[in-house]
């Protein structure tokens, strides 16, 4: 059992590492809402284009400058996808109700490292503080211009986790608004997630030969997801336990435990074979 687990961890880590190299930085969705600023302060951008970190920083600086001593309250999920905001039913019922009455609502589907962009506001003299959702948020707003709240990961169904976070974020925004009266809300994530079908379309666009398609033929659409960031961290998600098939034909039934961690990533390129759709959550650092 020991050697098999070691081989499995090594191969899965290399697989995730190779996927995470597709992007030097992380593109994440960003939702911004505000009750004070008018709608004409939306970021003027083509939704099909990516927004770089510095442009996002400049945009948020502009919003703050045109407002009256606002607090930027940013919630950072560990993982989000653009589908999280559009699927029905949605996990963000409370947030959607909250922003339905806002004067400004802006959605940017592809921003490079939005949380870093908010941290960069320190360079223009704003006080930025980062805390966790387990901290007392109201106690941390005094004297703060930008409060970044990192949402915790959970070893449970992802949709249920997002629902809990949704309720928490809406309630927290209301409490903070009662104290500061002028709060710019932001929802984003550390890393992004895309359907594995996107990866398959990308791989197949490189060529139509059987060789190009064989190593991804066992992926099931909408069942497996992958996310990665510039730090080499990646996640694989699917709806049920997984089978990893090596090039030799050897298969491994992956653990049903919610999270499997691998401590290091080997820097290597390898034909890693197929990864069948059937896993829980696999986190690689």
CB atoms closer than 10 angstroms to residue 155: 10
Q: What is the pTM of this model?
A: 0.63
Average pLDDT over residues 121-130: 96
Which of 17-31, 162-176, 199-213 reaches the highest mean pLDDT?
Answer: 162-176
Q: Quick one: the chain helix, strand, coil %, rounded to 5?
A: 35, 25, 40
Average pLDDT over residues 203-231: 43
pLDDT(54) > 60: yes
Put the strands of the sheet holding 281-284 in their side by side order: 194-195, 225-228, 234-237, 281-284, 259-262
Asked if residue 61 lies in contact with residue 184, where contact means CB atoms within 8 angstroms, the answer is no
**Predicted confidence (pLDDT) per residue in 94-106, tens digit:** 998 888 888 888 8
pLDDT(159) > 80: yes
pLDDT(38) > 60: no
pLDDT(265) > 70: no
Per-residue confidence at 231, pLDDT binned at 50, 70, 90?
Answer: very low
pLDDT(68) > 60: yes
CA distances to 54, 65, 104, 165, 227 from 51, in Å: 8, 20, 19, 26, 19
* pLDDT, averaged across the chain: 71
Higher pLDDT, 62 or 248: 62
Distance CA 111, CA 283 (A): 23
CA distances to 37, 140, 218 from 127, in Å: 21, 12, 49
């Amino acid at each position: 059992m020991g050697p098999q687990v070691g081989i499995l961890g090594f191969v899965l880590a290399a697989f995730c590492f190779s996927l995470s190299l597709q992007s030097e930085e992380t593109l994440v969705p960003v939702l911004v809402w505000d009750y004070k600023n008018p709608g004409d302060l939306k970021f003027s951008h083509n939704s099909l284009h990516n927004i770089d970190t510095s442009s996002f920083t400049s945009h948020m600086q502009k919003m703050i400058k045109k407002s009256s001593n606002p607090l930027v309250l940013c919630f950072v999920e560990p993982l989000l996808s653009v589908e999280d905001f559009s699927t029905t039913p949605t996990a963000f019922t409370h947030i959607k109700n909250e922003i339905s009455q806002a004067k400004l609502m802006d959605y940017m589907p592809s921003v490079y490292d939005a949380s870093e962009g908010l941290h960069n506001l320190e360079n223009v003299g704003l006080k930025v503080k980062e805390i966790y959702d387990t901290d007392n948020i109201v106690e941390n707003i005094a004297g703060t211009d930008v409060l970044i709240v990192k949402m915790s990961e959970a070893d449970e169904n992802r949709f249920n986790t997002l629902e809990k976070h949704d309720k928490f974020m809406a309630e927290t925004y209301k409490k903070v608004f009662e104290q500061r009266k002028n709060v710019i809300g932001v929802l984003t994530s550390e890393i992004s997630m895309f359907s594995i079908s996107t990866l398959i379309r990308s791989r197949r666009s490189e060529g139509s030969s059987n060789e190009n398609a064989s190593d991804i033929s066992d992926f099931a659409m909408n069942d497996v997801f992958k996310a990665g960031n510039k730090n080499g961290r990646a996640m694989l998600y699917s709806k049920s336990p997984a089978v990893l098939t090596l090039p030799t034909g050897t298969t491994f039934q992956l653990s049903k435990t919610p999270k499997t961690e691998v401590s290091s990533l080997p820097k290597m390129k390898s034909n890693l074979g197929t990864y069948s759709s059937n896993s829980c959550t696999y986190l690689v650092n």
